C-alpha cells in the first residue's frame, strides 16, 4: 500500500505539472504591470505563442523577469487550455533618497557610495549591496559598530521615499601591534615599515591607527619585501590577524613571522641556454656579486635588464629567471637561467578606465607596444612604472588571446585618483622666523602628465613667489622640459647690512644619461641687486650696491648619480652631485661657478646610520668682471652647523666704528659633514631619533677689494679650518618634520659668528 501511495504522489508532483506545462501557448495575459507594457514583458520569456513550454522553460521565464530588476515578484500560471497569465509586482521607483544620522560623511559622499538612485528602481539586491557598501565605508574609517537600517515611506503611483538610518559607531583604534618570531630586526623597526600604526595622541591627523583589512594585506607584502631585500630568502608571514578587545573599543594586531636564515651569495652564475653572447657582456648587466647579501629586488631588476639587453641583441623571445640554490645554512648560489620563451606577439593594447588621462600618457609608460614580442618581465616593469606615476590608484595588465595563434591582446585597466594638491604650510625656524607658504600643484595637468605649480612663501626674512611648468616627455621622447619664473627677496641686514632681490626665468630640461645618472641642463636669466642698506653698511657692501642691478645670463647643468637604497631615508649607498653655471652669454655678469658634493651612507648596526658628505665650490670671474658679494659663496647655519648665517669666512672687521662687520663671502669653500643617527630608547614610537654630528670646513678668498675700502686690514680673509660638534633631534611630528640642533664650534676664528641652537619646523595640511 505504501508503494502505491508513493507512486501516486510522484505522479502528482512530477507528471501532472509536466503535462500541464506542455500545452500549446494560445494567449498571454499580464497582470500587475503599470510602467512596462505587455509585449515588453513577454519578450523576456524563452517561449512564445505556438510553443509547448515545459516546466523548466516556465521556470527560466520567471527567473529572467526577476533578473531584469523590474519586478519584486513574478508568477506564471496556465488555465489548462493554453492561456498563460503572468502576474507581476513591479519594483517601486525611488522618489527621494535620504540619509539620517550621518556626521562622519556628508550626503553627497554617501550618495556616491550606494547603488540606489533617485528616479531608479528599488530592488532588494541593491538595498542589501548598498547597506554593505555603507558599512564597509565606515569600517575603513575605523567605525566597526556602525549600524545601517533601511526605512521605506510609501507614496502614490508605486513610488517610495527611501531612508538610510545610520547610527555611527565610535572609532575603534589600534591599541597594540605585536610581531612574533622576529629576531634580526626589532619590533619598532618593523612597525616603521608597515603602514598600520598604533594609536597615540600625536597621530590625530592620521587614519593609519584605524584598522583597515586592505592596509593589513599591504603590510604583509611590505614585510616580505623588506626581509627579502635584506637576504632572508625564506621569510614568510605565517599570519596577520586583527582581534577586537573584549570591550570592542580597540583592535589588537598580531603578525606571526618566520624569518628563516639570512643568506649571502657564494657564487653568481649565468646559465645561458639560448645565446652565444660572451658571458662577460652578460655579466655587465648583473650588479649582485659574491659575498653580497641576497636581495630579491635587485634580482628582479637584473632579470629585467638582461631581458632588455638580450632583446637588443636579437633574442626577442627570452626568459630570464634568477634561481637560487641554498648551500649550507647561510650561503646560496644565484644563477640567472637564460632560456627561450614561447613565441608570442602583442597584437593589440587596449586601455580602459582612464576618464581624464590621455591614452598616450599611459602608453609611453609601457615597456612594450603593439607588434612587440610578449615578455612578462617587461609587463611587470610597465605595471610598476604606471603605478609610479601616482596618477592611478589601481593598475591591472590583463592578457587575452589574440585573433590568431601566437598572439595576445593586452588590456590596461586603470583607476584614476586625484593628482591635484593645495598645500598650506606654516613653520618656524631660527633662520626665517615664522613663515607661511601656499602652493597649488597639479601633477597630471589636463590629463597630459604635465606638472604645474604656483607657490608663494612669506616669512620674516624671505618672500618668494614662483611658477613652474614641466613636460615630462618633450617631443615624445624620454626627455623632460620646463620653465620656472620667480621673484625672491631675502633680508641679510643682520649679517651683511643689505636686502637681496632676485627676479628670473629658468628654462630647464632633464634626461637619464645612463642608469642612475641624470643630467639636467638649464638656461637662466636673473636680475639681481642689493638694496635697503643699513646706515652703517661697510664700504665693500656699498660698492656692490652702487653698481646697481645687474643681469646674469647663464647656461649650466646639474648631474646626479644616485646609488642610495632609499630616496627618503637612505641607509646604504651614495649620492654624487655636480652643479656648474657659466654666466656671460650676454648680460652683465661674467663668472663660472661650480659646486660639487658626494654623500655616503653606511649602516653597520640596526638604526645606526653613518653618513659623510664632502662638498666644495668655487666661482671664477673672467673678462675683467669683479665679483659682487652676492656672486660669492656664503657658509653657515644649515650649511655649517654651529655658525650663524654667513657666519664663517671673509668678513669686514672695520677699524671705523661707523661701519658694520659685514660678511662678504668667499670664492672657494669646502666642508665635510659627518653624522650618525642614533635610536632614542622609549622614543622610537614617537617618531623621534637622535643624531651626533661634526662639520669641518672653511671658506676663503676675496679676489677683489674695492678702492673704497681704505684699510685693507679690515678685510679678514683666511683659509683656516673651522669645526663644530653637536647633537640633533629629529621628530616626525603630526605637524611635519621638526629638527633641533645643538652645536658648539670647537675651532673658529675670532671674527666668526656662532649659532649654538638651531630649530626648524614645518607643516603641510
| 535-582 confidence digits (pLDDT tens) | 888 888 888 888 899 999 999 999 999 988 777 678 888 999 999 999
**Range with the poorest average pLDDT among 56-65, 136-145, 736-745:** 136-145
Task: Report the candidate in 212, 215, 256, 261 with the shortest Cα–Cα distance to residue 234.
Answer: 261
The string of pLDDT tens digits covering residues 686-698 is 678 899 999 999 9
The pLDDT tens digits for 378-394 are 888 888 889 888 888 88
Q: What is the reported pTM?
A: 0.68
Compute the mean pLDDT over every residue in the chain, rounded to the nearest whole number: 86
Q: Is the pLDDT of residue 759 over 90?
A: no
Q: Give yes or no for residue 18 having a pLDDT over 60.
A: no
Is 17 a residue whose pLDDT tops 70? no
What number of H helices and E strands is found in the chain?
14, 35
Higher-confidence residue of 96 and 38: namely 96
CB 484 within 8 A of CB 452: no
Helices 296-312 and 376-388: crossing angle, nearest 10°? 120
pLDDT of amino acid 10: 40
Check residues 736 and 630 and name the one with the higher pLDDT: 630
Kindly tell me if the per-residue pLDDT of 69 is higher than 80: no
All three cell numbers of 481: 622640459
Sign of torsion over alpha carbons 153, 155, 158, 160: negative
CB atoms within 10 A of CB 69: 15
Residue with cell 539586491: 125
Residue 212 above 90 pLDDT? no
pLDDT band at 220 (very low <50, low <70, confident <90, very high): very high
- Distance CA(53)–CA(17), nearest Å, equals 11
pLDDT at position 19 is 39
Query: Quick one: pLDDT band at residue 190, thresholds 50, 70, 90?
Result: confident
Q: What 3-state DSSP class applies to 294? A: coil
| pLDDT tens, residue by residue, 637-665 | 889 999 988 999 999 888 877 788 899 99
> Which helix (H) or strand (E) element contains residue 765?
none
Q: What is the pLDDT of residue 38?
A: 83
Q: Which residue has the cell 595576445?
A: 408
> What is the model's pLDDT at position 712?
65
- The secondary structure of 22-35 as a DSSP string is TSPP-EEEEES-SS
pLDDT (mean) for 134-158: 85
Where does 497-589 have alpha helices with state H? 539-546
Q: pLDDT digits over 70-94, tens only? A: 888 888 888 888 888 888 888 888 8
Strand 345-352 to strand 407-416: parallel, antiparallel, or no bridges (unpaired)? parallel
pLDDT in the model for residue 137: 85
Amino acid at each position: 500500500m505504501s508503494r502505491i501511495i508513493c507512486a501516486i504522489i510522484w505522479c502528482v508532483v512530477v507528471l501532472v505539472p509536466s503535462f500541464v506545462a506542455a500545452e500549446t501557448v494560445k494567449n498571454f495575459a499580464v497582470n500587475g504591470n503599470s510602467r512596462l507594457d505587455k509585449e515588453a514583458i513577454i519578450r523576456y520569456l524563452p517561449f512564445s505563442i505556438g510553443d509547448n513550454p515545459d516546466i523548466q522553460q516556465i521556470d527560466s521565464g520567471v527567473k529572467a523577469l526577476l533578473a531584469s530588476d523590474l519586478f519584486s515578484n513574478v508568477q506564471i500560471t496556465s488555465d489548462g487550455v493554453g492561456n498563460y497569465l503572468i502576474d507581476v509586482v513591479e519594483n517601486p521607483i525611488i522618489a527621494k533618497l535620504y540619509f539620517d544620522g550621518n556626521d562622519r560623511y556628508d550626503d553627497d559622499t554617501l550618495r556616491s557610495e550606494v547603488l540606489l538612485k533617485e528616479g531608479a528602481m528599488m530592488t532588494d539586491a541593491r538595498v542589501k549591496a548598498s547597506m554593505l557598501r555603507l558599512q564597509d565605508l565606515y569600517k575603513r574609517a575605523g567605525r566597526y559598530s556602525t549600524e545601517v537600517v533601511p526605512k521605506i515611506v510609501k507614496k502614490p503611483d508605486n513610488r517610495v521615499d527611501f531612508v538610510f538610518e545610520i547610527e555611527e559607531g565610535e572609532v575603534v583604534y589600534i591599541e597594540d601591534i605585536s610581531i612574533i618570531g622576529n629576531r634580526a630586526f626589532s619590533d619598532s623597526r618593523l612597525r616603521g615599515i608597515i603602514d598600520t600604526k598604533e594609536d597615540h595622541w600625536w597621530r590625530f591627523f592620521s587614519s593609519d591607527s584605524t584598522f583597515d583589512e586592505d592596509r593589513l594585506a599591504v603590510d604583509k607584502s611590505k614585510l616580505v619585501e623588506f626581509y627579502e631585500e635584506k637576504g632572508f630568502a625564506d621569510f614568510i608571514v605565517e599570519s596577520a590577524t586583527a582581534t577586537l578587545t573584549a570591550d570592542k573599543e580597540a583592535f589588537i594586531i598580531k603578525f606571526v613571522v618566520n624569518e628563516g636564515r639570512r643568506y649571502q651569495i657564494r657564487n653568481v652564475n649565468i646559465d645561458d641556454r639560448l645565446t652565444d653572447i660572451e658571458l662577460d657582456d652578460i655579466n655587465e648587466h648583473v650588479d649582485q656579486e659574491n659575498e653580497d647579501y641576497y636581495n630579491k629586488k635587485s634580482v628582479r631588476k637584473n632579470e629585467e635588464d638582461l631581458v632588455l639587453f638580450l632583446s637588443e641583441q636579437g633574442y626577442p623571445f627570452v626568459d630570464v629567471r634568477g634561481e637560487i640554490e641554498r648551500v649550507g645554512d647561510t650561503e646560496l648560489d644565484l644563477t640567472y637561467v637564460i632560456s627561450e620563451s614561447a613565441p608570442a606577439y602583442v597584437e593589440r593594447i587596449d586601455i580602459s578606465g582612464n576618464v581624464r588621462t590621455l591614452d598616450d600618457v599611459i602608453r609611453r609608460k609601457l615597456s612594450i607596444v603593439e607588434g612587440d614580442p610578449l615578455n612578462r618581465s617587461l609587463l611587470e616593469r610597465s605595471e610598476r612604472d604606471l603605478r609610479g606615476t601616482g596618477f592611478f590608484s589601481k593598475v591591472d595588465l590583463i592578457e587575452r588571446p589574440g585573433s590568431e595563434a601566437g598572439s595576445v591582446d593586452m588590456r590596461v585597466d586603470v583607476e584614476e585618483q586625484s593628482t591635484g594638491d593645495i598645500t598650506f604650510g606654516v613653520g618656524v625656524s631660527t633662520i626665517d622666523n615664522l613663515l607661511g607658504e601656499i602652493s597649488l600643484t597639479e601633477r597630471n595637468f589636463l590629463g597630459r602628465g604635465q606638472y604645474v605649480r604656483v607657490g608663494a612663501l612669506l616669512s620674516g626674512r624671505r618672500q618668494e613667489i614662483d611658477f613652474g611648468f614641466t613636460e615630462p616627455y618633450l617631443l615624445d621622447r624620454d626627455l623632460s622640459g620646463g620653465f620656472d619664473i620667480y621673484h625672491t627677496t631675502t633680508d641679510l641686514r643682520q649679517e651683511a647690512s643689505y636686502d637681496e632681490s632676485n627676479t628670473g626665468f629658468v628654462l630647464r630640461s632633464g634626461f637619464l644619461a645612463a642608469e642612475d645618472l641624470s643630467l639636467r641642463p638649464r638656461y637662466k636669466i636673473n636680475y639681481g641687486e642689493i638694496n635697503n642698506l643699513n646706515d652703517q653698511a661697510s664700504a665693500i657692501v656699498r660698492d656692490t650696491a652702487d653698481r646697481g642691478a645687474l643681469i646674469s645670463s647663464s647656461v649650466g647643468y646639474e648631474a646626479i648619480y644616485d646609488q642610495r637604497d632609499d630616496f627618503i631615508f637612505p641607509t646604504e649607498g651614495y649620492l654624487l652631485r655636480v652643479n656648474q653655471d657659466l654666466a656671460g652669454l650676454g648680460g652683465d655678469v661674467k663668472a663660472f661657478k661650480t659646486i660639487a658634493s658626494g654623500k655616503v651612507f653606511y649602516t653597520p648596526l640596526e638604526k645606526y646610520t653613518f653618513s659623510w658628505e664632502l662638498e666644495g665650490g668655487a666661482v671664477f670671474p673672467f673678462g675683467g668682471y669683479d665679483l659682487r658679494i652676492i656672486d660669492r659663496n656664503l657658509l653657515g647655519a644649515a650649511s655649517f652647523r654651529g655658525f650663524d648665517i654667513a657666519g664663517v669666512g671673509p668678513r669686514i672687521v672695520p677699524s671705523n666704528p661707523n661701519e658694520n662687520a659685514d660678511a662678504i663671502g668667499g670664492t672657494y669653500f669646502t666642508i665635510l659633514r659627518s653624522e650618525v643617527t642614533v635610536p632614542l630608547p622609549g622614543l622610537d614610537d614617537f617618531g623621534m631619533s637622535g643624531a651626533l654630528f661634526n662639520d669641518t670646513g672653511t671658506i676663503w678668498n676675496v679676489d677683489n677689494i674695492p678702492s673704497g675700502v681704505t684699510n685693507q686690514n679690515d678685510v679678514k680673509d683666511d683659509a683656516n679650518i673651522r669645526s663644530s660638534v653637536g647633537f640633533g633631534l629629529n621628530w616626525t611630528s603630526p605637524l611635519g618634520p621638526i629638527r633641533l640642533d645643538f652645536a658648539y664650534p670647537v675651532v673658529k676664528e675670532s671674527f666668526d659668528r656662532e649659532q649654538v641652537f638651531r630649530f626648524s619646523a614645518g607643516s603641510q595640511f
